[in-house]
Structure 1
Amino acid sequence: MSISAQGPQCIWELGAKLGEGPFWHAAEAALYLVDIKGRRLHRCAEDGSARQSWDMPAEIGFALPMEGGGLVCGLPGKLLRFSPETGAFTPLLELEADIPGNRLNDGYVDSQGALWFGSMDNGESAPTGALYRLSPDGALQQKGSGIVITNGPCHSPDGRTFYHTDTLGKVVYAYDAAPDGTLSNKREFVRTTEPGHPDGSVVDSEGCVWVAMFGGARVDRYSPEGKVVATVAFPCPNITKVAFGGADLRTVFASTAWKGMTDEARAAHPQAGGVFSFRVETPGQQQHKYKGSL
C-alpha cells in the first residue's frame, strides 16, 4: 500500500474539540465534517480552501448526504434534515427519549441507501449505547446494545460483511450481512493494540478496513483477514475517522480532536483538531446517500 511520501498534511487548522465524521460530497467536490463538542458543521474543498461552517442546535454526532438534497444529522435523541443552502432544519425522527444521558455518534450510509448509526453515553461510562439501522422506508431497527461508545459502522465492498466498533472494549467486530440489513455471526475482527482506542472506520475498494486510533496518533489499515498491512502516523494524538475523496477517491481525509488533552499536550501538538489529508494508491468506495423519504 503506497502512501504519499510526505504523510498527512494539515489542510485546515480547524481546532475542533472533537472533529468527527468526514465524508466526501462528490457532487459538490467538498469535504464535510462535524465538531461534536463544538456543535458545528464544517465544509471545505479538497485542498482545505472554500471553508464554510454552520452552528448546530446541539452536539452533532454525524452529518451525511440525503437523496434529494440536504444532510441527515444525528443530534441527541433525534435525526434532523439540514439544508446548508438555507440553514433550515426539518425534524425526521426521535429516539431514546428514555435515555437523556445519551447522544448519537458515528454514522454511515450503505449501498441500499439505509442509514446506520450508534448512540452512546455522553459521559462515556454507562453501557447505554446501541447500534441502529434506519431503512429507506423509515423503519428503525436496533442491531446491537449494551455498548458505552459505538463507532465505525461500515461494510465490505460486496456488502456481505459489516463492521462495528466497541471503542472502550478496543474491539472491531465483523458480522455476516444481508441486503435487508440482517446481521449474523458476530465475531471479533480485530482487537486493537496500544496505544489508543479504535474510533471511526471506513473500508476501501480492496476491502481493507481503515481504523482511526484515538490517542494512538495513527490510522491502521487492516486486511480483510484482520492483519495490519499499513500504518499512517500523524503529528497529533487523537485521530477520529478517515474518508476517501477527490475525483479519484484516492485522497484520504482525516478528522482529529483535542478533547482530553492537557494544555501542555495541546501546546506540543498545535494541529490537534485539524483536518488532514494524504494520497494513496488504492481508492475508497463511493459515498452513498440516505434514500429515506421521512
Structure 2
Amino acid sequence: MTPQIGILANTRPTLGESPVWDAVTERLFWVDSLGRRIFRCSQRGDTLRAWDLEASVGSMALCEDGRAILAMRNGVHLFDFATGKAELIADPEPDFPGHTLNDGKVDRRGRFVFGSMNVEGSTPDAALYRMDRGRVETLRTGFTLSNGPCFSPDGASLYFADTTRPEILRFDYGEDDGALPAPHVLARLGAGQLDGATVDAEGCIWWVLTGIGQILRLSPEGEELLRLDMPVRHITSLTFGGPEMDILYVTSMGRPLSPDQPRDAVEGGAVFTITGLGITGLVEPRYRF
C-alpha cells in the first residue's frame, strides 16, 4: 500500500506544533507555538476553532476533565476551552528567564512529561520534568533543546532527543518517582534535526527530521523500518488519529526560524495527513488530577 499525503488545514502558523487527537470528539488539536494560539478542527478539516494565549506554547495534552495542560514560556498551565483562560499551576524554571518549556506528552499513568529548552544560548542547562497531580519533579538535566518525549505501549520505555545532538535516547521508565537512570542510545542519525515523535500500536517509534522534511519509523531496537519524504522541509511533530487511528497527522512551520534556512513553498505551516500506511497508532492518555 502506497502512503498518500494530503493537507488537513493550513492556518499559516509561525510554528505549528504538538498535534493531539481527541478520540472522544474525533477532532484534532494543535498549537502555533510562537503565534500563541491553539487550533482545533474536525477530521475533515472543517469547523476550525482557535484560542489565543498570552505566551508562547511548546506543547499541549488533553486532561481527563476536558481541559488541556500546556507547557508554555512562563510555566505549566491548565487551559479551559469554555472560558479561553489559562491558569498557571507550576513554573519549574523561575530562575531561567532565557528558557521556555517545549515538547511534552502524558505517560501511560496519566502524568505529564515535558522538557525545557535554552532559547538564548547553547548551554546544556535545560531539563526533563514530570508533573503528577500538580507536583513537578526533575527527571534529568543536562539538555539544551528537549524534544519528542514519547512512551512505549507498556510504558516501560521513554524515548527522547536533545535536538542539538544527532541521537535518539531510550530511558528505562519505571513506576517509581525520582530521577531517570542513564539512557541508552537507540539510534544515531546523519542529516536533519530531531523534533517531535510518537509511538504506534506495534511499539515502533516515529520521529520527525526537521530541516530535511523526512519522517522515520524505527523498531524498538532502533532499526530503521521506513523513511518518508514530506513536501516541505520544516516539519515539526506528528501523531496518529482518525476514527480508526490509522491517519498520521504532521505539523509544520509557516516559515523557518533562522534567516539562513530555505523557505518552504505555500504548504509551509500546513497540518498534513498521511493515509494508506497500514499502521495504527495509540490513543494518547489524558492528564490525571
Same fold per TM (> 0.5)?
A: yes
- Unpaired stretches in structure 1, ≥5 consecutive residues: none
- Deviation at residue 263 of structure 1 after TM alignment: 9.7
Matching residue of 1:125: 122
Q: Quickly say closer, same or farther: Cα 1:29–1:171, change in 2 above 3 A.
A: same
Compute the RMSD of aligned alpha carbons. Answer: 1.7
- Deviation at residue 81 of structure 1 after TM alignment: 1.1
Which string of whole-angstrom CA distances, capped at 9 and with x for unpartnered residues, describes residues 64-94 of structure 1?
1111121011112311111112212222112
Q: Quickly say closer, same or farther: Cα 1:265–1:14, change in 2 above 3 A.
A: farther
Q: Distance in 2 between matches of 1:254 and 1:123?
A: 27
Aligned-partner SS, 1:184: coil
Q: Is the 8 A contact 1:124 1:149 kept in 2?
A: no
Q: Quickly say closer, same or farther: Cα 1:283–1:40, change in 2 above 3 A.
A: same
Aligned-partner SS, 2:54: coil
Amino acid corresponding to residue 239 of structure 1 in structure 2: I
Task: Say which of 12, 17, 28 aligns to 2:9.
Answer: 12
Is residue 79 from structure 1 mapped to residue 76 from structure 2 by the alignment?
Answer: yes
Q: Distance in 1 between matches of 2:225 and 2:197?
A: 15
Task: Say which of 245, 249, 274 aligns to 2:270.
Answer: 274
Matching residue of 2:93: 96
- Deviation at residue 125 of structure 1 after TM alignment: 2.4
Q: Is the 8 A contact 2:39 2:49 kept in 1?
A: yes
Task: Say which of 181, 184, 187 aligns to 1:184.
Answer: 181
Amino acid corresponding to residue 235 of structure 2 in structure 1: I
Amino acid corresponding to residue 67 of structure 1 in structure 2: E
Aligned-partner SS, 1:28: coil
Q: Is the 8 A contact 2:129 2:138 kept in 1?
A: yes
Is residue 30 from structure 1 mapped to residue 27 from structure 2 by the alignment?
Answer: yes
Q: Distance in 2 between matches of 1:146 and 1:261?
A: 24
Matching residue of 1:193: 190
State percent identity of aligned pairs: 32
- Unpaired stretches in structure 2, ≥5 consecutive residues: none
Tell me the number of residue pairs that the alignment of Structure 1 and Structure 2 aligns.
286
Q: Distance in 1 between matches of 2:258 and 2:267?
A: 12
Q: Is the 8 A contact 1:220 1:228 kept in 2?
A: yes
Matching residue of 1:174: 170
Q: Distance in 2 between matches of 1:130 and 1:261?
A: 24
- Deviation at residue 248 of structure 1 after TM alignment: 1.0
Q: Distance in 2 between matches of 1:128 and 1:238?
A: 26
After TM superposition, list the pairs within 5 Å mapping 1:230-269 onto structure 2: 230-257=226-253, 258-260=255-257, 265-266=262-263, 269=265
Amino acid corresponding to residue 287 of structure 2 in structure 1: Y
- Deviation at residue 155 of structure 1 after TM alignment: 1.0
Q: Is the 8 A contact 1:133 1:181 kept in 2?
A: no
Aligned-partner SS, 1:289: coil
TM-score (norm 2): 0.94
Amino acid corresponding to residue 37 of structure 2 in structure 1: R
Which string of whole-angstrom CA distances, capped at 9 and with x for unpartnered residues, describes residues 185-235 of structure 1?
5111111221x1010111111111000011021111011111111111111
Amino acid corresponding to residue 85 of structure 1 in structure 2: A
- Deviation at residue 144 of structure 1 after TM alignment: 1.4
Amino acid corresponding to residue 129 of structure 1 in structure 2: A
Aligned-partner SS, 1:61: strand
Q: Distance in 2 between matches of 1:270 and 1:289?
A: 34
Matching residue of 2:284: 287
Amino acid corresponding to residue 22 of structure 1 in structure 2: P
TM-score (norm 1): 0.92
Q: Distance in 2 between matches of 1:193 and 1:37?
A: 28
Q: Quickly say closer, same or farther: Cα 1:250–1:3, change in 2 above 3 A.
A: farther
Aligned-partner SS, 1:27: coil
